[in-house]
Chains A and B, each alone.
Chain A
Amino acid sequence: MTPDPAPYTHQHSKAWLAGAAGLVRGWTGTEGERWIFVAKTLLAAFTALWLAFRLGLDSPNTAMTTTFILALPSSGMVLEKAFYRLLGTLVGCGSALLLTALFPQQAPLLFLGLALWIAACTCGAAMYRNQQSYSFVLAGYTAAMIAIPALDHPAGAFALAVTRVVEVSLGVICATVVHDALFPRHQSAQVMRTVQARYLRFLAFCREVLEHKAPPAETELAHLRFAADIAALESGRAAAFFEAAHARAHTRQLHAFNSAFMAALTTFYTLHRLAHRLRQDPASPVPALIEPPLARLAAALAQGEALQGAALAGLQTELATAIAAARAQACVSVRVDADDGKPASPHRIDFETAIELLERFARQFGDFAASYHGLAQRKRTQASEPQSYTPKTPPAIVLASGFRAATALLTVAGVWYWMAWPYAVNAVLMTSIFCALASSSPRPTAMIKQVMTGFLIAWPLSFFTEYFLVMPASGYPMLVLAAAPLFAAGAYLTTDPKRAGVGIGMTLFSAQVIAPLNLAHYDVAAFLNTTLAMPLGVALAWAIFAVVLPEHTMGQKDHVAAALWREALAASTAPQHAWRPWSALRHRFDNRVRDLLSQLNAASGPAPGEDARAVVRQGLTLLELGHSVLELRALIAESGRSEARRALQDCVSALAAYFRSPTRERCGTAVGAVLRAGAAVRAALPETAAPERAARLRTALTDLHSIYTCLLDQLLTSTSASPGARHAS
């Protein structure tokens, strides 16, 4: 029996159609998006060029280059960079005019002033993140771009500055209109996807850890990734802020989400460490006691997205009953409630600490989940005290990048003077641009190498384009056709994250040199001179990074380690004022430590080495210590004169001394002080009548206990690797 052919072909064509539709969908999802991006970039560039010609501006290629610089994947990012580019250009032009007015025709003084200005700007760039940092970079090199060409005729500086501002603004307008209005990719949607992925990942991570499936090394890496995530979400939020679709209330909610996440993560780490430590001791009955509540928590976290509203409230009550059951059982087995005046058994303190931490985690997780669901369902929740993310760069790195930028400028200016090669001014500009740009990158030499590769690829291609395609072209459409292939190739490469630097190098180089001015003017000698000077400048920037303070780059682990100790010290000594409540101090400490960890993550790449992991471990321990110290300090500030208060104060100052110079002796002293404070607080506990105050004292005991165990761990590890040596570096 032969099958009926009609349904077969029908089915076949249906399958074929579905396959084709799938292919098209796949293409628009991956390659198509890249080509749309290329088309938008070219449209913005040629619109800017055409407008610049039409308005008769002096150097139309600046407008075109601006559009290439602003070609970023999402419209929020384009708007953010555009805003900061405009800001940086205005400030840079202002300072260039000031410098030219102060030192007219005095080259050495002008260069010194310029070097100082660029150093200050580069320091600023290292201190900030995202496009704010770019704004500083731009303020620095715009000043160089205007002051250096105006060296011999200072009267022209104002005209140069005005041209620069006008052309940058033209480029900014074209780029923002094109990228924001045509097929926009919304940053706010991206941010929401990140938020959701992070939430689910955190749930999965917690569940794995609670079910003892994650080895300790894995959890360190997970914490490192989470730190990077926090920084990434913050930069995404900053970009989404500029989008029209971004509700302003979202900003507060995202801040609240980030800080709730950090709080929950820290508590979870402490809890996990404690549980891990307890399991090392086979004689301890505590792990078996706390296992049922932990398993209950893990089971609840397995619900994922469904864990909200009633389910969340159910989790809290279930956990409370599980904890009560554990307490009842503990009464029998470890006699935890035996307040018979005897020195407390270590198991009892362990148990109480674990329960306290578990309760704290449940509370903080509840906040975190609520802020997530508020965001996901676009509810308008009242986020209390929204605090923005505060980044922190180790000061040695900040100063080093400023010093490097100044050295680079002075060196290349010296070379320029000595060679008396007029086109070397291009090299000066390129060196100062790339020294400043690369200083906020964790691997500056790799970045400069990529750009250099782009320059070298674009060199012959742009020569060919300029003299064989653009020169014979007549009229604007022909010009577009002639120049488009090279620009498109560069723009296409920038969409590949691995080769983005090469693409940027190509587009920058070709946009700079393929510059049909209003009065078309082709000069092969000038072309060769300029194109020789530009790669030379980039090469010099590379050499500067390789030679001048090569170890002082963003996220270098020794600097991060030292900065982590300093942050802990600041947490134990920073003064508290009415305008800076304890929650603000805690938030700042948390942010800065995580920012340092995210820098470390960026610098150490996908597979951090053993040294980097040691720094992460150290950082997490310090995070734990710092939070406990802050809580103790809050308690000290609230309590009246008493024995317990004095003991706690001694404990905090011993810890501060330890953070200042982490040696074994100081660690031992701190352990002694912690034990004394614990005894004093425990003695004060029965005398306290107010239940609220008693609860505070119990929290303090928990904190003291976690400080104590952390310090013991430190004593163990410091025998193998002395943190003192690392701190001194």
Chain B
Amino acid sequence: MPRELAVFGILIPTLLPIFLASLLLQGALDWVLGHAGLYRRAWHPALVRLCLLVCIFSALTLVLYS
């Protein structure tokens, strides 16, 4: 994978689209987990959500950069 993507002559780090994709994925997962009621069992729901986002983002990055 290239480190940077050229869009109309502007270099954009590839991490940016990956981050957007992980936001979307996390949104979908969030919806499912919210309906399943997982967050109500967590001590710190916001932290759980943040960690999920970090996991998804890191996983995507690892897959693409390794």
Contact = CB atoms under 8 A, between A and B. Distances in A.
Whether A and B are associated in the same complex: the answer reads: yes
Interface of A: 75, 158-159, 162, 166, 177, 180-181, 184, 243-248
B40 A245 contact: yes
Interface string B35-62: 1010110101111111000000000000
B63 interface: no
A181 B10 contact: no
Contacts of A181: 44, 46-47, 50
Contact of A248 (B9, B10, B35, B49): B35
A243 B45 contact: yes
A244 B48 contact: yes
A162 B4 CA distance: 14
A158 B50 CA distance: 31
Given A180-B50, A181-B46, A248 B34 contact: yes
Contact of B39 (A177, A184, A244): A244
A11 B34 CA distance: 50
Interface residues of B, number: 20
A686 B9 CA distance: 83
Interface string B1-34: 0000000111010001000000000000011001
Nearest to A180: B46
A177 B23 CA distance: 14
A159 B8 CA distance: 10
Given A75-B46, A181-B47, A184-B46, A244 B10 contact: no
Main secondary structure of the interface of B (DSSP, over half): helix
A184 B12 CA distance: 33
A159 B48 contact: no
B60 to A, nearest CB: 16
B8 A158 contact: yes
A247 B40 contact: yes
B38 to A, nearest CB: 9
Nearest to B11: A162
A244 B8 contact: no
B13 to A, nearest CB: 9
A166 B9 CA distance: 16
Given A244-B30, A247-B37, A248-B34, A158 B46 contact: no
Given A244-B30, A244-B34, A248-B35, A158 B10 contact: yes
Contact of B10 (A162, A177, A247): A162
B49 A162 contact: no
27 contacts: A75-B46, A158-B8, A158-B9, A158-B10, A159-B10, A162-B10, A166-B16, A177-B50, A181-B44, A181-B47, A181-B50, A184-B44, A184-B46, A243-B45, A243-B46, A244-B30, A244-B34, A244-B39, A244-B42, A244-B45, A244-B46, A245-B45, A245-B46, A246-B34, A247-B34, A247-B39, A247-B40
A245 B9 CA distance: 43
B5 to A, nearest CB: 12
Contacts of B31: 248
A180 B46 CA distance: 6
A243 B44 CA distance: 11
B51 to A, nearest CB: 9
Contacts of A243: 45-46
Of the listed residues A158, A177, A244, the one surrounded by the most CB atoms of chain B closer than 10 A to its CB is A244
Question: Can you list the 4 inter-chain pairs with the closest CB atoms, starting with the nearest?
Answer: A244-B45, A180-B46, A245-B45, A244-B49
Contacts of B45: 243-245
A247 B37 CA distance: 7
A387 to B, nearest CB: 21
A523 B50 CA distance: 41
Contacts of A162: 10, 12
A553 to B, nearest CB: 37
